Structure 1
Amino acid sequence: MKNKPNCNPQHALISCYGRRKITRISMKYFKWLFSAAMLVSSFPGLANDYEVVDIDSKVLGEQRQYQVLLPEDYFTTSQNYPVIYRLDGADNIPLMKEVLGRLKDADAAPDVIIVAIENTDRLRDMYPTVNQDRNGPVGIGGGAKKFLAFIEQELIPDVEERYRTHSTRLISGASAAGVFSLYAMQQRPGLFDAHIAYSPAVWWNAGAMVERTEKWLFSGPSESAYVYMNMGNEGLPMRPYYDKLLTSFSTHVTPHLNIVVNEYPGVSHGLTSTAGIFNAYQSFFMSKAFPREKITADMQVIDDYYRRLGEQWGIDPTPPENVVRELGYYFDWQKKPHLAMKLFKHNMSHHTENPDAIAGVAYGYEGQDKLREALTYAKKALAVATEDIPYYDYFVENVERLENKMKGTKKAN
């Protein structure tokens, strides 16, 4: 029987699950998310203290404030981090910290910087048009263009000057702020990579944002963007306008838009951000675990995947050693030894001095009953392994086992 290393967390094999766009979330899991928002974070990944920054905005003619939550290891690394711009202020940070911490621990999202933008006049800033609909406050709104200019010309440059940021940016908001997220995508394509709109209040001004979105989609947007939207148990006046918005997106299909939509019939308007936060970020961020179903005989698909992940996360694009090796083990178990060997060798090509990667090739050759080649690579793995590796004995014992196996084979012949 072939042996695999007894790995410590640094070398551990991780299961590879493909990214899925989940369209529904169980109420049991929703209850967990809601409870998580009430707890003090016990997960690593993001720090506990916020940094508060004031800006004297020339664009808005007023002082504005934003609060920043940095990754826990921010001051011990030189890494640059993706930034999530969360509208409606720091009250949203605790839940974001919990969910993003869970995703990070599962290698399903990177460390991020959270920037929470505080409000001064919310309805003025979030809506691009002045409301004339009697279902809401008439004569209010219309400041979104100026607020977006503030974000682009003053806020983002300030954040990127103060902190080590990566080029990946997300904007997130609920209700009126959800409308602003959609507006930002249309008004300034490419400014953000992801636009999250929890229960966007598209009824405002008799559905003006729906009409605007229809025209924008008809024009054929050319910038790539990710859009997440959800809706709870909304009735009138919201629901008809939202349904019309969904119809617009489904009618004007464009390859540049990646749209994820969730429905939560039993969830109230004020809880849709809590219900949707997991799917919103899990569906956007690429997972470090390469999806098994995308494996082909062409190993370039792996390199392309991690190149894109590196661009999104702001990290080294080299395919992780333990992930690719685990794929090799998986396809060996699936009785596909030639594909497994391709994976083992491809892994070693990226990690030439890694004893685990080399031992994977030995494992692959043993699976093909090529004991001489297996022993050669087992010896190479032992030669580069250091005795401080907790499972160093494995490399020693693997060589001895293969030597004995070869002797037994010779005797049998």
Structure 2
Amino acid sequence: MKSLLSLTLVVVLSFLSTSGAFSQEMTTAERYQHVTEQLHSKVLNESRSVVVQLPKSYHDSQDKKYPVIYRLDGAGTLTTMNAVLESLQSQNAAPEVIVVAIENTDRLRDFYPTVNQDPNGPVGYGGGGAKFLSFITEELMPLVENKYRVHDFRVIEGASAGGVFALYALREKTHLFKAALAYSAAVWWANGASAKNMVAFLKSQPQLDHYIYTSIGNEGAPMRPYYDNMIAGIKANQPQGMRWVNETYPGVPHNLITAASTFSAYHQLFLSAYLRAHRYDGNISSISDYYTRVSAQRGENLTAPEWVIRELGYYYVGMQNYEKAIALFEYDIAQYPNTPDAYNGLAYGFEQMGEYRKALTNVNKALKLADESHDGYQVYLNRQKRLLAQLQ
């Protein structure tokens, strides 16, 4: 069911982004700026082309920096990426990003780090992964980071052979890439060398502050046994701190796995600017920890909005966990001492507990800070009258 919903969402969004459903002034070409960069690679001894997609807000500021996604398989991948990212960005569940779409010349040579001797595939192909990674990290990355406003949250993403390379890049350049998204990674190549190397790498890492996304569809032999062994190995050797999501989409063929997976991959990679209850562990200190991680992803200093903290308090009131609720409301006031809604939140918590005098004290503080034009003013008055009646 999840696979069908995810696939449907992506297909619909992709259709909307490329069809007449958008007005003329909202076409992709006008919403984004695309810059084609041509460079001659000394490492590869050939000319290479990449398409750099800049966010819609890029020219609104001269100092804002963006995360960067290095996307294998070129600009043809941008339609699906943009549709999904825009849906998340509309809810502030993902930041705007710079995308570097790397065009192909020889996928089998570049994406596989080992030469294939498995008769299930083209024997003698591959083995250029190390050179291609050097091209990205020593030639392409300096060009991007010198010319465009990116910060150090880098993602590498690819499908099939590109998925193999994304995992390889994370293993070899762990300090450069914070996340790898691998859709239906063809880990059967070279008798499962990539799958074995991935497990061996994780065994050697007691701590890994990275995100890895893996997915697979209705793959059979020779792919599935190698993939399943890799997944079992990751489960058994997952380093502390590593966020890993693996999803299976039964009935979805190899060439549609990217479409089926992209929403989930991004949704779970990027942290929302709004901390929700399912991501809150119940400890007040985890709020600032969460926003430290959000800030690291987005390259800007973000803190918890007042209403986010208050909503967490409401959640715990609903759970009748008044101790945690009151702690959150009091923390909210400590962070926002001049905001009337924060005091009203605490008043609500005390009212639900039957602590009417404490509730009245705090709603009076809310009324003192607000005037009649404030959206919550009438709510505060109603609470005050209700509490006075209870106390009488």
Matched, 1:354 2:317: no
Q: Distance in 2 between matches of 1:280 and 1:44?
A: 25
Q: Report if aligned partners of 1:190, 1:225 keep a CA contact under 8 Å in 2.
A: no
Which residue of structure 2 aligns with residue 31 of structure 1?
Answer: 8
**Counterpart-to-counterpart distance in 2, 1:252 and 1:399:** 53
Mark the runs of 5 or more structure 2 residues left unpaired by the alignment. none
Go from structure 1 to structure 2 and tell me whether the alpha carbon gap of 1:70 and 1:349 turns closer, same or farther (over 3 Å shift): farther
Q: Which of 222, 226, 247 is the matching residue for 2:232?
A: 247
Alignment CA distance shift 1:36-1:375 (3 Å):
closer
Equivalent position amino acid for 2:39 in 1:
I
Residues 190 and 224, structure 1, Cα contact 8 Å, conserved in 2: no
1:95 CA drift (Å): 0.5
Shift of residue 372, structure 1, vs aligned partner: 4.3
1:132 aligns to 2:132 (yes or no)? no
* Aligned residue in 2 for 1:277: 262
- Is the 8 Å Cα contact of residues 117 and 123 (structure 2) preserved in structure 1? yes
What are the ranges of 5 or more consecutive residues in structure 1 without an aligned counterpart?
A: 1-23
**Corresponding position of 1:13:** none
Provide the rounded CA distance (Å) in 2 between the counterparts of 1:157 and 1:205.
32
Q: What is the SS of the residue equivalent to 2:228?
A: helix
SS in 2 for 1:69: strand
Following superposition, the deviation at residue 116 of structure 1 comes to 0.8
More relative contact order, 1 or 2 (CA 8 Å, 6+ apart): 1
1:167–1:402 Cα change, 3 Å: same
Structure 1 residue 398, shift from structure 2 partner: 4.7
Counterpart mapping for 1:211-226 below 5 A? 211-220=196-205, 222-226=207-211
* Number of residue pairs matched by the alignment: 381
Q: Once the two structures are superposed, what CA deviation does each residue of 1:152-183 show, in whole Å capped at 9, x if it has no partner?
A: 11212221222221221111000111110111
The whole-number CA distance in structure 1 between the counterparts of 2:317 and 2:235 is 41
The whole-number CA distance in structure 2 between the counterparts of 1:103 and 1:75 is 21
Deviations along 1:83-107, one digit per CA (max 9) or x if unpaired, are 1111000111110111111122233
1:46-65 matched pairs, under 5 angstroms: 47-65=31-49
When you count helix as a share of all residues, which structure comes out higher? 2
**Aligned counterparts of 2:83 and 2:326: Cα–Cα separation in 1:** 39
Q: 1:116 aligns with which of 87, 101, 108?
A: 101
Q: Using a 3 Å threshold, how does the CA distance of structure 1 residues 347 and 95 change in structure 2: closer, same or farther?
A: same
Note closer, same or farther for the CA distance 1:181–1:320 as it changes in structure 2 (3 Å cut).
same
SS at match of 1:236: coil
Give, in angstroms, the shift of residue 79 of structure 1: 2.5
1:377 is the counterpart of 2:361 = no
Q: What does 1:228-267 correspond to in 2, within 5 Å?
A: 228-267=213-252
- Summarize the alignment of residues 4-403 of structure 1 with structure 2, pairs less than 5 Å apart: 25-40=2-17, 47-77=31-61, 78-220=63-205, 222-293=207-278, 295=280, 298-367=283-352, 368-370=355-357, 371-382=359-370, 392=374, 394-395=376-377, 397-398=378-379, 400-401=381-382
| C-alpha distance in 2 between matches for 1:307 and 1:214 | 29
Please state whether the residue corresponding to 2:370 is helix, strand or coil.
helix
CA distance in 2, matches of 1:161, 1:185: 22
Q: Give, in whole Å, the separation in 2 of the partners of 1:310 and 1:295.
A: 17
TM-score by length of 2: 0.87
From the superposition, tell whether residues 74 and 54 of structure 1 become closer, same or farther in structure 2 (CA, over 3 Å): same
Q: Which amino acid aligns with 1:369?
A: Y
The Cα shift of 1:185 comes to 1.6
